[in-house]
Amino acid sequence: MNRIRVLIVDDSVTIRKVLRTTLSQHDDIEVVGEAADPYEAREAIKALNPDVLTLDVEMPKMNGIEFLEKIMRLRPMPVIMVSTLTQAGAATSLEALELGAFDCVGKPDFDGVVEKVRIAVHAKVRPLRDRAHDSAPVSSYQCGDSVLAIGSSTGGVEALVSIIQRFPANCPPTLITQHMPPTFTTSFAARLDRLCAAHVAEATDSAPVKPGHVYVAPGGDRHLEIQGSGAHLRCKLVEGPTVSGHRPSVDVLFNSMARIVGARGVGVILTGMGRDGADGLLQMRKAGARTLGQDQASCVVYGMPKVAFERGAVERQVSLSRMPSSILDLCAHQVRGAV
């Protein structure tokens, strides 16, 4: 068995020790080295050729974001960021995810780091220069009564930014469930709002669902659903157990879309590990909604879209670069079809 070779980069001796102990308990993972700053890390990468890097956000000499950008331009590899789960840490981690970091883990418990290392080694990592995309919003779109729901997980931050940036100010009402901790979704919604022509906000209970608005499910202990009827739709935050291993769950959002919106809906499932969203997207398609899945070539992790496609939930697979126009075309088609 080939063991996953991990390099730990952190200026804290304590954090390095905890990470080494956590990862080394597993026979399929080998910690091949440690580095206290990016300059040591650069030499260690050359000498040790690790499969996966864990990278602290705050370090002396050069911070983790600056180093990550250099890695993604010169020697792309799966990088798991290590950060505090504070608001400031969340904002910095989101920047890292946009630059191509595989995922983030929080200090001091490093929840899920072992599983993320195991998945990261198989992730598709592209050079930063190859991920450039046209961010200008689509200039014309016929706004009607279609409603859009998007589900994503690992790799979803970069994917969602590239999609929502292309949406016009009068985009279809859009609900998003992206697997994230609570502080991350607050920062992510604010960042999307700054980058996009549409208004983006974290979803609140009973918020009216309107064209030109994008609603991001808050991380934490509630699921995002859509409720209401006709033109009187609203967000609903629902307490409950995890569904498909997650809360908020993409399945919960998509199932509510199938029940409430039916054939007016458009459902999209993006990059992510696991199966969350596949069953709900299938229910949307059975209810007459149009559905898209991100294709394997453009996914960081072809997990959620793969399961959805194999279950017949995905009408068509689309590359990330074509996803914004494909979504808007389907939303406009739903409007024409309803007339």
Q: Among residues 179, 213, 223, 246, which one is catalytic?
A: 179
**319 noted as active-site residue:** no
Distance (Å) of CA 48 to CA 36, 41, 64, 83, 163: 15, 10, 19, 24, 37
Please say if 56 is a catalytic residue: no
DSSP designation for 310: H
DSSP label at 302? B
Separation of first and last alpha carbons in the chain: 59
Rg (CA), the chain: 20
Chain-centroid distance of CA 302 in Å reads 12
Q: How far apart are CA 313 and CA 311, in angstroms?
A: 6
Catalytic residue (choose from 10, 251, 276, 279):
276
Q: What is the DSSP letter of 23?
A: H
Residues 273-298, buried b or exposed e (16+ Cβ, 10 A)? bbbbbbbbbbbbbebebbbbbbbeeb
Q: Which residue has the tokens 């956000």?
A: 57
Catalytic pick from 83, 93, 146, 153? 153
Which strand ranges, in their side-by-side order, compose the sheet holding 290-294? 199-202, 213-216, 174-178, 147-152, 265-269, 290-294, 316-318
Kindly write down the DSSP assignment for every residue of 77-142, as one continuous string: --EEEEE-SSHHHHHHHHHHHHHT--EEEETTT-TTHHHHHHHHTT-----GGGG----SPPS---
**187 is known as an active-site residue:** no
Q: In this structure, are residues 37 and 67 in contact, taking their beta carbons and an 8 Å threshold?
A: no
Between CA 137 and CA 161 the distance in angstroms is 12
CA 152, 118, 30 angle in degrees (round to 5)?
Answer: 155
Q: Tell me the residue type at 97.
A: L
Residues acting as catalytic residues: 153, 179, 276
